[in-house]
């Protein structure tokens, strides 16, 4: 885990420093040479790359992700302080929504296999997978917010502001979860232990919820890491469209301004976040599936 | 029941062999193809893909409009008999741009998938075939790389290398091959320990024979499925990069760039600006997904996505 | 298998199946899997159903509990009576009352037939709670008792464990415990020993016998292993292509088989006491296509002694000795004259093809 993180930091650092020119080269702007010199000294950019690298690593150990260059004296840390809570709540709402609705949709589709509801659910899932989320977001804004005026168009604040972006952000993961749940559920329902449960005289609802659902949903947990990554990158797009002041917006602004310090800092932060998430998902899977627990105990 | 007495005689011997094999012999690929043609959705997907490919190849001959010609007098025009899909804010013909964008988008998707495929097969194949320490070292590296969020790396690479057709492909394949390599290696390992390979080895088959007759045909099915799914995800990723302003630069246009350009105009009512590119992205995604699902069912029905 | 059992301990008919027909609707058309099966299970006895794969024995068993897939399978006609109560017309809800409490079933492979992610204790207890108005503590106590009965040591700790923590034989014992915990009167065992090692097989069969003595449960055992039949069954039904072709007390059927198919089954089974120079005789050919079953006897195409009548008219059931029924044209007096291969009925020998 730490090796991966170190690798990311290193790749990021050297990629950023391999860009020709300095961050202070601005198109059309003739900056004063001494000013640039001072700035370079201030950020330590005049030192050899190896020294800069060590400096950067040192500051990372103290959880300092470095300054912003375009928005001096703003630092990456303060951007995270401001943006991350917003992104986190948006992402969590989207994730929870996607999980609950995806599992429900997939289960219903599997129970009504090849029925009308199944077709409907799967068409919805296909749309969710094939339509880019910026298109979904734009559609939602156009119809729900602009034409029907049901919800605010953009920005962040009340719970009403959260609905549309969370919805747009969750369509992709929701569709993936629904498809996976359906496929697993269909398979689980043909398993012998479902027949055993029926032979005990259990009610269909008990069979579905107690015996089938748990086993059908287990594989979804393994996918959770990828889904979190999906939501994270999705949030860049969604936050920009809805003008939400989250991490994604800072990151995208950083890209547009070629603010390498910000790109570097946020990338490292995101990577660390994702790696920790993946790790947590692994642990969670071990807790949920009794078979894994034994395996680890034995190993 | 009245049964006639004269029937109580030994049954006359019937001609023909009851155990004759009725069905004609099919090779693995014939069977796979036969199975696939029965899957209507997969065939539909295949047909759409072929049509899109034809469109991308011969597209520019299908219209007399130029994809770069600006005509500010006819900016943001609705679809008409002249401009089938309307025009954009610079008066460029959206239909011509879609056709041209098909080239770029499909090219990106196919190239990225192809590079993934080549690197993945070589890396995963070597790792899986040799096993042991080679495998350990090679997979350690891949495991570490796998932990890196791939779109972040792609963004990073794009920022560094600058936007462009080539850089997009390089950035996408720089991260895409890892998944392929892992899968190929898993397949090879699994097949290597399978009993029919063991049987073949017991019969004295040479490694080349085993690779050609057993490993390749059996692993290829799964690999083809993976490739089919990696084409649309590359196209999707390109659309995403376009959104961040890291996509193809004008005057060239991919569907992703066009959709992104069309986003703000939807509020002004120029729906065709967003609709057509988004429609083609979705159609391509859909077609590849349908084909991929069909191939998945054909080659490894047990493993579902 | 040389010690024939007689049916002295058999009592009143507990379960009676008459002329059962089951049809599956598939993409290829209608499969007539069960075509007029009659079964009688008396209280306290063990009835075996034997036959090749696909002969309809499992479908028959599942239709007794109405466990067939609802969408594709249909009981087209016939009657199933349990203690005089007709089961074919019951609603799904009434059936659920019955399943587990009156009729229970155990399956071939406990590894797949038990839920891997729920503790085995919970899987036993949920059945008790479903059918009895008892507290959880009481259900737990019963579960422990049941596990002890089927021979699992430390039942208290074992309750909290999962399937993968048990060996193959133990898993089968657990499944038996689950099936018997609500004291059903009928236990259907679908190939209960097929997936097990031979030594474990014997243990499980002995467990069946012990449990039958203790609880008085009647058992229907489905198998293709004639050794199993000889060991534990009182009576046997031989099925072929969706029909019962021969039925009777085990000793009677094994020692005086009448139907050529039963003969074939016995002849294809290796025996320790048989002369090794005589090769085993497999039955040639494969069972008929049940999409379009032949009009006459389904076995006719594979039968070395088939007569012209067998291909066109379905044979009728005859009773050569009390309790022993056979459905074969060879039983017809007119067939006595037809002895093309000069093979006396009753020996295991069959002409080579």
- Touching C: which chains, 3+ CB pairs < 8 A? A, B
Distance from CA of A35 to the nearest CA of B (A): 25
Q: Is B49 inside any structural domain?
A: no
- Touching B: which chains, 3+ CB pairs < 8 A? A, C
Nearest to A270 among B152, B259, B274 (CB): B152
H or E stretch covering C182: none
Residue C224 has pLDDT above 90, yes or no: no
pLDDT band per the 50, 70, 90 thresholds, residue C348: very low
* Gap between the Cα atoms of B264 and B261, Å rounded: 7
Residue C337 has pLDDT above 70, yes or no: no
- Using CA atoms, how far residue B54 sits from B36, B57, B67, B99, B303, in Å, is 22, 5, 18, 10, 32
Q: Which pLDDT belongs to residue C141?
A: 93
Residue of B nearest to C306 (CA): B11
Q: Which chain A residues are Cβ-neighbours of C104 within 8 angstroms? A: 199-200
Instruction: Please say whether the beta carbons of C27 and C21 come within 8 A.
Output: no
Mutate to test the interface with B, among A233, A265, A268 (most CBs of B within 10 A): A233
Q: Is B75 inside any structural domain?
A: no
Q: Which one is predicted more confidently, C14 or A256?
A: C14
CB contact A196 to C (< 8 Å): yes
Record: contact B8-C310, CB cut-off 8 A:
no
Nearest to A180 among B147, B267, B305 (CB): B305
* Among the ranges given (A105-109, B1-5, B50-54), the one the predictor scored with the smallest mean pLDDT: B1-5
Over residues C228-283, the pLDDT tens digits come to 899 899 999 999 988 899 999 999 999 889 998 998 888 877 766 666 677 777 77
Q: Which chain B residues are Cβ-neighbours of C299 within 8 angstroms? A: none
For chain A, give the percent of residues with pLDDT over 90: 9
Mutate to test the interface with A, among B52, B152, B261, B278 (most CBs of A within 10 A): B152
Indicate if ipTM > 0.95: no
* CATH number given to A77-288: 1.10.3720.10
Neighbour count for residue C103 (Cβ, 10 Å): 27
Ranked by mean pLDDT, the top range of B208-212, C188-192, C300-304 is C188-192
Nearest to residue A49, comparing CAs of A77, A10, A82, A78?
A10
Query: Among the residues of B82-215, which ranges form H helices?
Result: 94-130, 132-146, 150-161, 165-192, 195-202, 207-210
CB contact C286 to B (< 8 Å): yes
Q: Which pLDDT belongs to residue A46?
A: 67
* Gap between the Cα atoms of C233 and C208, Å rounded: 10
Supply the CATH number for residue B270's domain: 1.10.3720.10
Residue B131 has what DSSP assignment? -
Q: Which pLDDT belongs to residue A33?
A: 66
Over residues B83-104, the pLDDT tens digits come to 677 777 777 777 888 888 888 8
Record: contact C116-A215, CB cut-off 8 A:
yes
Q: Which pLDDT belongs to residue C330?
A: 86
Nearest to residue A194, comparing CAs of C167, B118, B22, C69?
C69
Distance from CA of C26 to the nearest CA of B (A): 17
* Gap between the Cα atoms of B215 and B201, Å rounded: 12
Q: Options 3.40.50.12780, 3.40.50.300, 3.40.50.720, 3.40.50.1220; which CATH number does C15-233 get?
A: 3.40.50.300
Instruction: Please say whether the beta carbons of C89 and C83 come within 8 A.
Output: no
Q: Which pLDDT belongs to residue C324?
A: 92
Instruction: Please say whether the beta carbons of C139 and C145 come within 8 A.
Output: no
* Gap between the Cα atoms of C173 and C155, Å rounded: 12
The SS3 of residue C85 is strand
Nearest to B11 among C308, C316, C334 (CB): C308
Show the low-confidence residues of chain A (pLDDT under 50): 27-28, 294-299
pLDDT band per the 50, 70, 90 thresholds, residue C349: very low
Mutate to test the interface with A, among C69, C102, C113, C115 (most CBs of A within 10 A): C115
Q: Which chain C residues are Cβ-neighbours of A196 within 8 angstroms? A: 105, 107, 113-115, 175, 178
pLDDT band per the 50, 70, 90 thresholds, residue C15: very high
What DSSP line would sit under C202-241, residue for residue? Answer: HHHHHHHHHHHHHH--EEEEEES-HHHHHHH-SEEEEEET
**Strand partners for C81:** C16, C86
CB contact A145 to B (< 8 Å): no
Tokens at residue B33, please?
């193809």
Neighbour count for residue A186 (Cβ, 10 Å): 18
What DSSP line would sit under chain A, residue for residue? Answer: -HHHHHHHHHHHHHHHHTSSS-TT-BTTB---HHHHHHHHHHTTTTS-HHHHHHHHHHHHHTT---B-STTTT-BHHHHHHHHHHHHHHHHHHHHHHHHHHHHHHHHHHHHTTTSHHHHHHHHHHHHHHHS-HHHHHHHHIIIIIIIS--S-SS--SSHHHHHHHHHHHHHHHHHHHHHHHHHHHHHHHTSHHHHHHHHTT--HHHIIIIIIHHHHHHHHHHHHHHHHHHHHHHHHHHHHHTT--SHHHHHHHHHHTT-HHHHHHHHHHHHHHHHHHHHHHHHHHHHH-HHHHHHHHH-
CB contact C309 to B (< 8 Å): yes
For chain B, give the percent of residues with pLDDT over 90: 2
Q: Is B40 inside any structural domain?
A: no
Q: Which domain holds residue B123?
A: 84-303
Instruction: Write down the residue that tokens 């009610």 correspond to.
Output: A203
Q: How many domains does chain B have?
A: 1
Nearest to A201 among C96, C113, C162 (CB): C96
Nearest to residue C319, comparing CAs of C264, C255, C252, C261?
C252
Q: Where are the domains of chain A?
A: 2-61, 77-288
Long-range contacts of A150-159, Cβ-Cβ distance < 8 Å, separation of 24 or more: A154/A241, A154/A242, A154/A243, A154/A244, A155/A242, A155/A243, A155/A244, A156/A86, A156/A242, A156/A244, A156/A245, A156/A246
Q: Which pLDDT belongs to residue B212?
A: 77
Over residues A129-160, the pLDDT tens digits come to 888 888 888 888 878 877 777 777 766 777 77
Tokens at residue B206, please?
């040479």
Residue C2 has pLDDT above 60, yes or no: no
Nearest to A19 among B160, B267, B282 (CB): B160
Residue of C nearest to B15 (CA): C301
* pTM of this structure: 0.79
Neighbour count for residue A100 (Cβ, 10 Å): 13
- Touching A: which chains, 3+ CB pairs < 8 A? B, C
Q: Is B26 inside any structural domain?
A: no
Residue B116 has pLDDT above 80, yes or no: yes
Q: Which chain A residues are Cβ-neighbours of C100 within 8 angstroms? A: 199-202
Q: Which pLDDT belongs to residue A223?
A: 83
Residue B55 has pLDDT above 60, yes or no: yes
CB contact C145 to B (< 8 Å): no
Reading phi first (left if > 0) and then psi (alpha if -120 to 50, else beta), residue C158 is in alpha
Nearest to residue C187, comparing CAs of C156, C157, C221, C163?
C221
* Gap between the Cα atoms of A176 and A182, Å rounded: 10
H or E stretch covering C120: helix C120-131
- Using CA atoms, how far residue C111 sits from A216, A217, C115, C166, C169, in Å, is 17, 20, 8, 9, 10
* Gap between the Cα atoms of A159 and A92, Å rounded: 14
Q: Which chain A residues are Cβ-neighbours of C115 within 8 angstroms? A: 193, 196-197, 211, 215
* Among the ranges given (A208-217, B65-74, C20-29, C167-176), the one the predictor scored with the smallest mean pLDDT: B65-74
- Residues 262 through 281 of chain A touching chain C, CB cutoff 8 Å: none
* Gap between the Cα atoms of B88 and A245, Å rounded: 30
Record: contact A255-B155, CB cut-off 8 A:
yes
Residue of C nearest to A217 (CA): C117
Q: Which pLDDT belongs to residue B159?
A: 79
Q: Where are the domains of chain C?
A: 15-233, 239-338
Instruction: Please say whether the beta carbons of A239 and A246 come within 8 A.
Output: yes
- What integer is the mean pLDDT of C81-106? 89
Nearest to C340 among B1, B7, B10 (CB): B10
């Amino acid at each position: 885990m730490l090796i991966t993180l170190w690798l990311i930091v290193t790749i990021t650092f050297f990629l950023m420093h391999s860009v020709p020119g300095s961050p202070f080269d601005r198109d059309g702007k003739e900056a004063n040479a001494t000013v640039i010199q001072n700035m370079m000294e201030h950020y330590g950019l005049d030192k050899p790359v190896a020294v800069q690298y060590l400096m950067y690593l040192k500051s990372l150990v103290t959880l300092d992700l470095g300054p912003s260059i375009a928005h001096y004296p703003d630092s990456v840390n303060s951007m995270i302080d401001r943006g991350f809570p917003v992104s986190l709540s948006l992402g969590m709402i989207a994730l929870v929504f996607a999980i609950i609705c995806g599992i429900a949709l997939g289960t219903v589709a599997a129970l009504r296999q090849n029925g009308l509801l199944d077709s409907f659910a799967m068409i919805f899932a296909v749309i969710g997978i094939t339509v880019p989320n910026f298109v979904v977001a734009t559609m939602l804004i156009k119809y729900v917010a602009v034409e029907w005026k049901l919800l605010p168009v953009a920005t962040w604040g009340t719970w009403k502001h959260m609905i549309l972006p969370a919805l747009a952000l969750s369509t992709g993961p929701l569709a993936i979860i629904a498809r996976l749940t359906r496929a697993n559920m269909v398979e689980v329902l043909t398993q012998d232990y479902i027949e055993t449960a029926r032979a005990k005289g259990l009610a269909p609802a008990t069979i579905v919820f107690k015996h089938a659902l748990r086993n059908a949903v287990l594989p979804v947990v393994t996918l959770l890491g990828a889904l979190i990554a999906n939501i994270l990158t999705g949030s860049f797009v969604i936050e920009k469209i809805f003008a939400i002041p989250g991490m994604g917006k800072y990151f995208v602004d950083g890209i547009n301004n070629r603010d390498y310090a910000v790109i570097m800092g946020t990338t490292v932060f995101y990577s660390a976040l994702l790696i920790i998430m993946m790790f947590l998902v692994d642990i969670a899977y071990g807790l949920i599936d009794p078979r894994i627990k034994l395996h680890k105990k034995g190993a | 029941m009245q049964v006639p007495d004269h029937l109580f005689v030994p049954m006359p011997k019937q001609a023909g062999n009851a155990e004759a094999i009725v069905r004609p012999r099919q090779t693995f690929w014939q069977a796979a193809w036969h199975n696939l043609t029965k899957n209507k959705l997969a065939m539909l997907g295949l047909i759409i893909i072929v049509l899109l490919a034809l469109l991308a190849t011969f597209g520019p001959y299908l219209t007399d409009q130029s994809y770069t010609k600006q005509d500010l007098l006819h900016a943001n025009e609705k679809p008409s008999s002249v401009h089938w899909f309307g025009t954009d804010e610079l008066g460029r013909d959206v239909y011509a741009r879609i056709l041209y964008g098909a080239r770029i988008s499909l090219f990106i998707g196919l190239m990225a998938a192809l590079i993934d495929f080549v690197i993945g097969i070589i890396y995963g194949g070597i790792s899986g075939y040799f096993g042991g320490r080679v495998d350990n070292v090679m997979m350690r590296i891949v495991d570490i790389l796998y932990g890196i969020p791939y779109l972040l790396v792609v963004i990073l690479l794009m920022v560094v290398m600058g936007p462009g057709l080539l850089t997009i492909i390089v950035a996408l394949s720089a991260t895409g091959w890892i998944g392929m390599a892992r899968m190929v290696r898993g397949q090879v390992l699994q097949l290597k320990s399978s009993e029919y390979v063991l049987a073949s080895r017991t019969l004295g088959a040479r490694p080349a024979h085993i690779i050609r007759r057993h490993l390749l045909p059996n692993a290829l099915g799964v690999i083809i499925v993976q490739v089919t799914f990696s084409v649309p995800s590359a196209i999707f990723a390109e659309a995403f990069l376009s959104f961040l302003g890291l996509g193809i630069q004008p005057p060239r246009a991919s569907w992703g760039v066009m959709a992104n350009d069309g986003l703000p105009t939807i509020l002004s009512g120029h729906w065709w600006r967003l609709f057509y590119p988004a429609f083609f992205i979705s159609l391509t995604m859909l077609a590849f997904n349908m084909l991929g699902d069909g191939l998945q069912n054909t080659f490894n029905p047990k493993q579902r996505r | 298998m040389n010690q024939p059992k007689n049916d002295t301990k058999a009592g009143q008919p507990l379960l009676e199946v008459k002329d059962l027909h089951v049809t599956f609707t598939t993409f290829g058309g209608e499969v007539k899997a069960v075509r007029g099966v009659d079964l009688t299970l008396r209280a306290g006895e063990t009835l075996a159903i034997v036959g090749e794969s696909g002969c309809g024995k499992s479908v028959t068993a599942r239709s007794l509990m109405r466990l067939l897939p609802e969408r594709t399978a249909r009981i087209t006609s016939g009657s199933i009576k349990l203690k005089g109560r007709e089961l074919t017309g019951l609603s799904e809800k009434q059936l659920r009352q019955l399943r587990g409490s009156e009729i229970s079933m155990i399956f071939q492979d406990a590894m797949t037939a038990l839920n891997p992610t729920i503790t085995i204790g919970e899987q036993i207890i949920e059945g008790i709670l479903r059918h009895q108005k008892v507290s959880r503590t009481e259900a737990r106590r019963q579960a422990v008792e049941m596990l002890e009965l089927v021979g699992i040591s430390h039942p208290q700790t074992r309750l909290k464990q999962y399937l993968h923590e048990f060996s193959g034989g133990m898993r089968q014992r657990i499944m038996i415990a689950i099936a018997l915990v609500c004291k059903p009167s009928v236990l259907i065992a679908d190939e209960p020993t097929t997936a097990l090692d031979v030594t474990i097989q014997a243990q499980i069969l002995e467990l069946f016998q012990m449990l039958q003595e203790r609880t008085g449960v009647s058992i229907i055992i489905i198998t293709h292993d004639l050794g199993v039949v000889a060991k534990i069954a009182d009576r046997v039904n031989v099925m072929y292509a969706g029909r019962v072709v021969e039925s009777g007390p085990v000793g009677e059927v094994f020692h005086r088989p009448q139907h050529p198919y039963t003969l074939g089954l016995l002849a294809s089974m290796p025996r320790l006491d048989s002369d090794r120079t005589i090769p085993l005789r497999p039955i040639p050919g494969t069972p008929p296509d049940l999409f379009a079953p032949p009009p006459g006897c389904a076995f006719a195409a594979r039968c070395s002694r088939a007569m012209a009548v067998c291909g066109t008219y379905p044979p009728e059931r005859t009773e050569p000795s009390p309790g022993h029924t056979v459905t074969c044209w060879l039983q017809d007096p007119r067939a006595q004259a037809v002895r093309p291969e000069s093979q006396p009925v009753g020996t295991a020998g069959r002409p080579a093809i």
